[in-house]
Chains A and B, each alone.
Chain A
Amino acid sequence: MQSETRKKLLKLFAEANGEFISGQKISDQLGCSRTAVWKHIEDLRQEGFEVEAVRRLGYRLKSAPDKVTGNEIQLGLKTKRLGWNVYYEESVPSTQKIAHKLAHDGAEEGTLVIAEEQTAGRGRLDRSWHSPKGTGIWMSLILRPAIPPQQAPQLTLLAAVAVSQGIQEVTGLVPDIKWPNDILLNGKKAVGILTELQADPDQVHAVIVGIGINVNQTREHFPSELASTATSLALEAGKPVNRAQLVQMILSKFETLYDQYLQHGFSPIKLLWEGYAVTIGKEVVARTLSGTVSGVALGITDTGTLKLRTKDGDIHYIYSADIEIKK
């Protein structure tokens, strides 16, 4: 976790926007001696930051390492509550498992668990999720919304919109959302979202939103069985993407949407979701454990359920299924 002093120092550097800040100013803002400032700067350098020091001018941040520790995420972070409590580890079995434990132990809303690598990343029904080191974003966000549990599934659609907006803002790519929250680029999967709930029958304790994004993988990173179905943002955009910047943007979009949702309910989110939806109006197959339904996806209801019309004209409401879009 980040110390308050470290957070303040990162904030100063972010505000300076690459310009010099005098040692005296830093020492005043941080409330510590010039020697202590020097010590904090040394710590940052140890962690991979390039900081230039010039007599009479002060310190200037030249570059941040391509990592996703609390340092990089909080350097320029524009949110009020999401992402200010970062739990980072280089390698973890699954960020989702750690987030579950932290949430259970009372971690505050907005706590973010993030890692450079997951050795046992998991998706729906414990399907494994390929998450090699330093190439992607593997994170879990803890929320504590005051909503009844039956409304919580709507947050998965909200998460898909937040991630799509973040990707669009940072890379210029316009993602498609496949119901409920798969994010596709040119028909290939680049993002997986897995949301889990800690709740009593009548009260949500925590919602844990697990987000996995393929960011800078090259074709060689994908095992052959994934080559035709998976992609990364870098492959689609044709250039590498700064992961920390993308995390910041997603957190920022997420917070805005989440505040709207808490204040006005699902309807504003529904409109935005529909803007990215690729499923609507298409022939789809919905596969569930209890059977398969084929038909035209008509849209989503005011609660986010998928509405489907079969060939015979019957209407089905789909609460959970694997959706395949027919070509």
Chain B
Amino acid sequence: MLKIQEIRELIRLVNESNIVEFVYEHDGSKIKMKKAGAHVAIEPAAPQTIAKEAAPQQTTPVVQAEPQAAVVEKKEEPKQEPTPVQADNLHKITSPMVGTFYAAPSPDAEPYVKVGDKVKKDTVVCIVEAMKLFNEIEAEVEGEIVEVLVKNGQLVEYGQPLFLVKTE
């Protein structure tokens, strides 16, 4: 079993890399880390939570050690998180599935929407693709795009916020 220090080091390295998931197995114990969006809920019922041990992270790494399952979790709101007052009329468009975020219908095309664009409920704002299934995401609300939270080509998690919309 790895020491907490070593796990911490691993979290740091995984976090700095492009790795999305990392599994380490040795002598019957297993550590699994998965990068997730800051808003993805993590099973709260894990036997031990040692969140305090974790170094500050930009993302949310999950460490699961088996057989003694432990979850290391650190949540941090995105830097540009609006103040609660503003948040009242800000709607988050979230991803309905894990997949790749596409801002435009093809590599050469203009993005579906950009900051400042007005959207209607049925305006297509992006595509999320997994295993060649393409999901055109609609705004679901009427308003103005105030922020694009992810980059073209980025892997997004289930429930991860993609856009902030100022509703009308």
Question: Would A196 and B136 be within 8 Å (CB), given that A149-B97, A153-B97 are in contact?
Answer: yes
Contact A149 B135 (CB under 8 A): yes
Residue B59 interfacial (CB < 8 Å):
no
Q: For A197, give its contact among B20, B107, B135, B158 (CB under 8 Å).
A: B135
| Segment from A54-62, A80-88, A316-324 that makes contact with B | A316-324
Chain A interface, >50% SS class: mixed
Closest-by-CB residue of A relative to B101 is A289
Question: Would A289 and B19 be within 8 Å (CB), given that A152-B135, A156-B133 are in contact?
Answer: no
Question: Would A124 and B136 be within 8 Å (CB), given that A153-B97, A319-B155, A320-B99 are in contact?
Answer: no
Residues of A near B20 (CB, < 8 A) are: 316-317
Interface members, chain B 110-168 (any A CB < 8 Å): 129-136, 140, 151-155, 158
Q: Count the B residues whose beta carbon is within 8 Å of the partner chain — how many?
A: 32
Residue A214 interfacial (CB < 8 Å):
no
Q: Count the A residues whose beta carbon is within 8 Å of the partner chain — how many?
A: 37
CA–CA, A281 to B112, complex, Å?
39
Residues of B near A202 (CB, < 8 A) are: 96
Residue B64 interfacial (CB < 8 Å):
no
Residues of A near B105 (CB, < 8 A) are: 125-126
Contact A157 B131 (CB under 8 A): yes
Closest-by-CB residue of B relative to A152 is B133
CA–CA, A99 to B62, complex, Å?
41
Residues of B near A197 (CB, < 8 A) are: 133-136
Contact B153 A290 (CB under 8 A): yes
Contact B21 A317 (CB under 8 A): yes
Residue A24 interfacial (CB < 8 Å):
no
Residue A136 interfacial (CB < 8 Å):
no
Residue B86 interfacial (CB < 8 Å):
no
Distance (whole angstroms) from the CB of B22 to the closest CB of chain A:
6
CA–CA, A207 to B156, complex, Å?
21
Residues of A near B131 (CB, < 8 A) are: 153-154, 156-157, 180-181, 304-305, 319-320
Residues of A within 8 A of B (CB): 124-127, 149-150, 152-157, 180-181, 193-202, 207, 288-291, 304-305, 314-317, 319-320
Residues of B within 8 A of A (CB): 18-23, 94, 96-100, 102, 105-107, 109, 129-136, 140, 151-155, 158
